[in-house]
Amino acid sequence: MAWTQPPARSTRITKPLARALRGFTMIEVMITVAIVAILVSIALPSYSSVMLKLNRGAAAQFMMDIANKEEQVTLDLRGFTTTIGSGGLGLTPASDVAANYTFAVALSGNDCLGSSLSGPAYVITATAIGKQESDGSLCLDSRNNRTPAAKWGN
């Protein structure tokens, strides 16, 4: 038997391989963008809601820190103070908390439930600012009233 040369290989690219090398079609890209847009539109409100709750929790924790410090100061000075920072309680909110709430302490007026304060007492308010405004403000007083009650987790 005589030796025969194998058939020459074709340098032509077959159709399935040529199609794979072309890339994505415009329809495929548009479908992908649409799917991503739908996922973002579903996830963004959930993310915003979680961020509001986290910011509220941080503010509530800072208010509890203020209340604890007020009780300590009252033992030393025989009275409460309205000064949260230096010269008073010596507390400063973290920058992320301060970006979402302003804090104040009142020694007269009404408590969180609207009753008149009597005797030595304080009311701590955290007023929501910026993006947090939609969540509302918080109140904590020396009688351990917390309003709005639904926003204070147990």
Per-residue pLDDT of the chain (154 residues; tens, 9 = 90+): 666 766 666 666 566 665 556 677 888 899 999 999 998 888 877 888 888 899 999 999 999 999 999 888 888 878 888 888 888 888 889 898 999 999 999 988 888 888 888 878 899 999 999 889 988 899 999 888 999 988 887 5
Within a domain: 58: yes
Whether omega before 148 lies within 30 degrees of 0, making that bond cis, reads yes
Within a domain: 50: yes
Within a domain: 29: yes
Domain that holds residue 114: 22-151
Within a domain: 141: yes
The number of domains in the chain is 1
Classified as helix, coil or strand, 139 is strand
Pair 127, 147: CB distance under 8 Å: no
Within a domain: 138: yes
Backbone angles phi, psi at 7, to 5 degrees: -65, 145
Within a domain: 3: no
Amino acid at 13: I
pTM: 0.71
Backbone angles phi, psi at 133, to 5 degrees: -55, -35
